[in-house]
Each structure stands twice: as structure tokens, then as C-alpha cells.
Amino acid sequence: DAGVTQSPTHLIKTRGQHVTLRCSPISGHKSVSWYQQVLGQGPQFIFQYYEKEERGRGNFPDRFSARQFPNYSSELNVNALLLGDSALYLCASSLAFGAGNTIYFGEGSWLTVV
């Protein structure tokens, strides 16, 4: 079975532009989360979705938004890109809602803002 898949794997954007990152969870998983990992740091929580509803939001500006589709895939959108948005964006999925469910990560999308 396929794991968590993310696209694109690498991309370069210019300051002020918009970016959309995509994630397909493991088949059967209904919960998707997004994390930002800046170089040299641990991942930081951005959003969590379950059954197409937002269930958690980290300390990120309103330029960051996300949504989950009926097939449980998800998009992360970032508007008005800043240099500081350069990071690895990790998507994670779990079978259901609840902290007891194991979280599985994708390989991430590398975003470089120039």
C-alpha cells in the first residue's frame, strides 16, 4: 500500500507569490495534519483536519490555510510568500481522530522562497 504522498517534492517561488502543496493520505486514513520544518529545527504544527473539518491550528499567520477534500486528500495554501516560509512542509495522516492513532509522515515538499 502507498504511504502518505506529497506533491510537488521541490519548488521555488518568489516573494509575494502563492503556493499550493498537496497531500494524499494513506488509504483509509481520515485525518491529515501539516507541519513546517525549518532547516535545523524540529517540525512545527500548522493544521489538522479530520472528516473535512479543521480540528486544530498552530501559531501561524492567516496567510496559511488548508482544506481537506471528500476523498480525504488535503491542500496547504500559503499566500504572500516570505523568505522565512522557506522550509520542508510535511504532511501526516492517521487512521482516525484521537491521540492514540499513530501518525505517518510523507517525505515532504521542499519550498524555497527567493
Partner 1 sequence: AQTVTQSQPEMSVQEAETVTLSCTYDTSESDYYLFWYKQPPSRQMILVIRQEAYKQQNATENRFSVNFQKAAKSFSLKISDSQLGDAAMYFCAYREMNYGGSQGNLIFGKGTKLSVKP
Instruction: Output 14 or 100, the one with its CB closest to partner 1.
Output: 100
- Give me the amino acid identity at 55: R
Q: What is the CA radius of gyration of the chain?
A: 13
Query: Per rule CB under 8 A, is residue 99 in the interface with partner 1?
Result: yes
Residues 20-79 contacting partner 1, CB under 8 A? 31, 33, 35, 40-45, 48, 50, 55-56, 58
Q: Evaluate the CA torsion angle 97, 99, 101, 102 in order and state its sign.
A: positive
Shortest Å, Cβ 80 to partner 1 = 24
Q: Is 89 in the site for partner 1 (CB under 8 A)?
A: no
